[in-house]
């Protein structure tokens, strides 16, 4: 589904922060992306999310060479990827429901056609009571779940999550992990960037470890 | 590494509420993705309103000048003047009668009237004072000739005939005045178009700055839209919608104010008719009414302002988005 070949990344004229990355993310797969702080996890996630171009190498996503894509092509391809940011990136003036429905609205769908689906998902992630709440009044865990719901509402083929348990207590972290596992079972490939060793120990999955700009894969 | 079993349902740990209980309130209906409060709305609406008002005043004023000039032109061109100068050795009264006869015989003429000596004295009274003995002064005599509408007489033939029989007569068809008036009306139109162009340019610049400000204020929203797969066209349309409404609002306020002003001026003109001031204004402007055409032109301008506002903001949004990767 996704293939990196000898990908390198540098910012400006600085040194390469990521070097010779070659790996694949297969359909229905589950992997943790880990490494020390500053190892380049977020940069790699951004390349996976098509918001950062590599300075060298080939990235193929869903059988498309990403270097050849136009901006609108990238936007279209991004609809097949869901992303959960560490800082949630919810829109404060939209209710939980409207935030979660945003990807469907962008697809041009009619509100009546997705209302039941969004409400069902919100109930599934435990936000059934918070549908009409604005993000500023949600707790950290609720925001995290709303961000996850927004990432998966359009049924993406790939889900990327950047430190999804960074803002929550270990108990909620485990519950969120179960949510990701459940999504993976329903067919979504999952990449979770984290440096939470305890979280990774909770589930036996493939690990992509970034260290000093290079990637080591432990299947 | 230990493995944990996923639960049967994800809802159980968190969702304590009754799934059927939460009613979908009006809060759930799609709100604008770009909140209208984040656009510098009021000040920009005021700018668009003022600009539309100025544009409408300009258009109305130009239309009044053009219409008055056209009225004056048609009045002046319905009349010509023959001047008979006193020449030593010739009887001026006989010359005037001969000129009248020749003119009456020309087709396309409805009325010929020579100014009497007293009327001629009245004409020059402001310069020479009253109580003149005209017989002692070589005063030219005027003959006013009214023309039939539609078929203008052959001025060249008339001029030749007069020259042959009354060498001291000269024909003035007021062409100089008409040309001057036409030039004045054309100049007013050109000046009006220049003012409209300036007003449009100022509006576009204001909208450009306001859009850039709105884009900067809403940068997080633009980023999130990109993350959920929105194309630049979709993002632009979210901003354009606000600016189109804002342009219509500002345009309607400015254009409406201009229409009310023209309405009041027109009504005042009617009320003041018969008074000295009213008659002076009516003589100068031909009435403040801009007519149905004027109001239609103002309505078109309101729509033009809204469209220009929307298109300018779209262009600015597209340019800004193109610079965001």
pLDDT of residue B135: 63
Is residue B297 predicted with pLDDT exceeding 80?
Answer: yes
**B23 close contact with A: CB closer than 8 A:** no
Which residues of chain B neighbour A51 with C-beta distances below 8 Å?
Answer: 226-227, 325
Any CB–CB contact under 8 A between B133 and chain A?
no
pLDDT at A71: 87
Model confidence band, residue A2 (pLDDT cutoffs 50, 70, 90): very high
Asked if A184 contacts A190 with a C-beta cutoff of 8 angstroms, the reply is yes
**Which pLDDT does position B194 carry in this prediction?**
92
ipTM > 0.90, yes or no: no
| pLDDT of amino acid B3 | 44
Residues B132-136: what's their mean pLDDT?
65
Q: Is the pLDDT of residue B300 over 80?
A: yes
For residue A93, give the chain B residue with the closest CA: B35
CB contact under 8 A, B15 and A128: yes
Chain A residues closer than 8 Å to B2 by CB? 201-202, 204
Which residues, including other chains, have CB under 8 Å from residue A34's CB and lie 6 or more apart? Answer: A41, A193, A194, A195, A200, A207, A208, A209, A210
What's the pLDDT at B50?
A: 92
B108 conformational bin, left if phi > 0, alpha if psi -120 to 50, beta if neither: left
Pair B239, B226: CB distance under 8 Å: no
Please report, for chain A, the start and end positions of each structural domain, with discontinuous segments joined by +: 2-80+156-218
Out of A60-74, A141-155, B16-30, B157-171, which region has the weakest mean confidence (pLDDT)? Answer: B16-30
Residue A95 and residue B27: Cβ atoms within 8 Å?
yes
Q: What is the mean pLDDT of residues B257-263?
A: 90
In angstroms and rounded to an integer, the radius of gyration of the C-alpha atoms of chain A is: 17
Q: How far apart are CA A199 and CA B283, in angstroms?
A: 91
Pick from B11, B25, B226: which is nearest to A124 by CB? B11
Position B14 pLDDT exceeds 70: no
Residue B254 pLDDT = 92
d(CA B102, CA B121): 25
Residue with tokens 């162009």: B197
Higher-confidence residue of A62 and B89: namely A62
Query: If you average pLDDT over residues A103-130, what whole number do you get?
Result: 91
B20 touches A at CB < 8 Å: no
B41-87 pLDDT, tens digit each: 678 888 889 989 998 988 888 888 888 787 777 777 788 888 888 88
pLDDT of residue B32: 82
Q: For residue A4, report the phi and psi dihedrals to the nearest 5 degrees.
A: -110, 130
Window from A111-120, B273-282, B288-297 with minimum mean pLDDT: B273-282
Tell me how far apart the alpha carbons of residues B96 and B102 are, in angstroms, rounded to a whole number. Answer: 10
Alpha-carbon torsion, ordered A164, A167, A168, A169, to 10 deg:
120
Check B28 against A97: CB less than 8 A apart.
Answer: yes
For residue B30, the model assigns a pLDDT of 72
Does residue B27 sit at the A interface (CB-CB below 8 Å)? yes
pLDDT tier, B11 (very low <50, low <70, confident <90, very high otherwise): very low
* pLDDT for position B287: 62
pLDDT > 50? residue B12: no
- Asked if A49 lies within 8 A of B227 by C-beta distance, the reply is yes
Tally Cβ neighbours within 10 Å of residue B314.
Answer: 18
Chain A, chain B: beta-carbon pairs less than 8 Å apart: 133
Min mean pLDDT across B90-104, B190-204, B282-296 is at: B282-296
Cβ-defined contact of B230 to A95 (cutoff 8 Å): no
Is the pLDDT assigned to residue A119 strictly greater than 90? yes
A191-195, B185-189, B311-315 — most confident range: A191-195
- Summary mean pLDDT of chain A: 90
pLDDT above 90 as % of chain B: 6
> What percent of chain A has a predicted confidence (pLDDT) above 70?
100
- B4 contact A CB<8A: yes
Which range has the worst mean pLDDT, B10-24, B149-163, B311-325? B10-24
- Chain B nearest-CA distance from A153, in A, is 10
3-class SS string, A55-112: CEEEEEECCEEHHHCCHHHHHHHHCCEEEECCCCCCCCCCCHHHHHHHHHHHCCCCHH
Greater confidence (A27 vs B265) lies with A27
Write the secondary structure of chain B as one string of H (helix), E (strand) and C (coil). Answer: CCCCCCCCCCHHHHCCCCCCCCCCCHHHCCCCCCCHHHCCHHHHHHHHHHHHHHHHHHHHHHHHHHHHHHHHHHHHHCEEEEEECCCCCCCHHHHHHHHHHHHHCCCCEEEEEECCHHHHHHHHHHHHCCCCCHHHCCCCEEEEEEECCCCCCCHHHHHHHHHHHCCCEEEECCHHHHHHHHHHHHHHHHHHHHHHHHHHHHHHHHHHHHHHHHHHHCHHHHHHHHHCCCCHHHHHHHHHHHHHHHHHHHHHHHHHHHHHHHHHHHHHHHHCCCCHHHHHHHHHHCCCCCHHHHHHHHHHHHHHHHHHHHHHHHHHHHHHHHHCC
Instruction: Flag the least confident range among A57-71, B103-117, B120-134, B158-172.
Output: B120-134
Among A53, A115, A124, the residue with its CB nearest the CB of B10 is A124
- Is the Cβ pair A98, B234 closer than 8 Å? no
Judge whether B8 is closer than 8 Å to chain A, CB to CB.
Answer: no
Instruction: Examine the pLDDT at A33 and tell me if it is beyond 90.
Output: yes
The residue-averaged pLDDT of A22-35 equals 93
Predicted pLDDT of residue A3: 93
pLDDT at B34 (0 to 100): 82
Contact between B207 and B313 (Cβ < 8 Å) = yes
Whether residue B10 and residue A178 make contact (CB cut-off 8 A), yes or no, is yes
The domain at A2-80+156-218 falls in which architecture? 3-Layer(aba) Sandwich (3.40)
Mean pLDDT of the residues in chain B: 80
Is A174–B4 a contact, with Cβ atoms under 8 angstroms apart?
yes
% of chain B residues with pLDDT over 70: 83
- Can you give the pLDDT at residue B209? 87
Cα dihedral B271, B275, B281, B286 sign: positive
Summarize pLDDT for A169-203 with one digit per residue, the tens: 788 788 888 888 988 998 899 999 998 888 888 88
Nearest to B3 among A127, A185, A203 (CB): A203
Q: Indicate if the pLDDT at residue B308 is higher than 50.
A: yes
Contact state of A132 with B25 under an 8 Å Cβ cutoff: yes
Residue B281: pLDDT band by 50, 70, 90 thresholds?
A: low
A171 → chain B, closest CA residue: B13
Q: What is the pLDDT of residue A86?
A: 86
């Amino acid at each position: 589904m996704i293939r990196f070949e000898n990908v390198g990344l540098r910012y400006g004229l600085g040194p390469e922060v990521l070097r010779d990355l070659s790996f694949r993310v297969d359909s229905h797969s589950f992997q943790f992306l880990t490494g020390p702080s500053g190892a380049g996890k977020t940069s790699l996630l951004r390349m996976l999310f098509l918001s950062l171009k590599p300075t060298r190498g080939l990235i193929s996503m869903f059988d498309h060479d990403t270097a050849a894509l136009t901006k609108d092509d990238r936007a279209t391809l991004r609809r097949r990827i869901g992303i959960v940011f560490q800082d949630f990136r919810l829109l404060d003036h939209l209710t939980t429901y409207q935030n979660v429905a945003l990807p469907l609205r962008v697809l041009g769908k009619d509100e009546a056609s997705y209302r039941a689906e969004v409400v069902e998902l919100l109930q599934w992630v435990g936000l059934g009571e918070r549908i009409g709440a604005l993000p500023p009044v949600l707790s950290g865990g609720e925001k995290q779940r709303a961000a996850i719901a927004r990432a998966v509402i359009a049924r993406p083929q790939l889900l990327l999550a950047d430190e999804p348990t960074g803002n929550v207590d270990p108990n909620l972290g485990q519950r969120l992990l179960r949510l990701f596992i459940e999504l993976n079972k329903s067919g979504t490939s999952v990449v979770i960037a984290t440096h939470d060793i305890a979280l990774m120990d909770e589930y036996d999955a493939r690990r992509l470890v970034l260290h000093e700009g290079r990637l080591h894969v432990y299947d | 590494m230990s493995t944990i079993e996923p639960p049967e349902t994800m809802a159980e740990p968190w969702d304590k509420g009754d799934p059927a209980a939460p009613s979908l309130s009006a809060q759930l209906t799609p709100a604008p993705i770009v909140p209208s409060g984040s656009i510098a709305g009021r000040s920009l609406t005021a700018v668009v309103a003022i600009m539309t008002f100025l544009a409408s005043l300009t258009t109305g004023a130009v239309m009044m000048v053009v219409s008055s000039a056209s009225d004056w032109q048609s009045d002046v061109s319905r009349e010509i003047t023959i001047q008979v100068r006193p020449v030593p050795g010739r009887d001026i009264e006989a010359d005037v009668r001969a000129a009248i006869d020749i003119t009456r015989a020309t087709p396309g003429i409805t009325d010929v009237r020579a100014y009497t000596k007293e009327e001629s004295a009245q004409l020059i009274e402001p310069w020479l004072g009253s109580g003149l003995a005209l017989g002692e002064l070589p005063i030219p005599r005027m003959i006013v000739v009214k023309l039939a509408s539609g078929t203008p007489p052959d001025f060249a033939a008339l001029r030749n005939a007069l020259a042959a029989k009354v060498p001291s007569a000269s024909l003035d068809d007021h062409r100089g005045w008409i040309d001057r008036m036409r030039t004045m009306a054309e100049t007013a139109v050109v000046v009006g178009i220049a003012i409209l162009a300036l007003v449009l340019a100022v509006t576009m610049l204001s909208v450009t700055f306001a859009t850039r400000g709105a884009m900067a204020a809403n940068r997080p929203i633009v980023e999130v839209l990109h993350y959920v797969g929105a194309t630049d066209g979709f993002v632009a349309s979210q901003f354009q919608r606000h600016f189109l409404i804002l342009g219509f609002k500002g345009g309607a306020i400015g254009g409406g104010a201009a229409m009310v002003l023209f309405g009041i001026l027109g009504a005042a003109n009617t009320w003041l008719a018969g008074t000295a001031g009213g008659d002076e204004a009516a003589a100068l402007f031909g009435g403040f009414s801009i007519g149905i055409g004027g109001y239609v032109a103002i309505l078109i301008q309101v729509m033009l302002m809204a469209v220009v506002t929307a298109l300018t903001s779209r262009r600015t949004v597209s340019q800004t988005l193109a610079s965001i990767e």
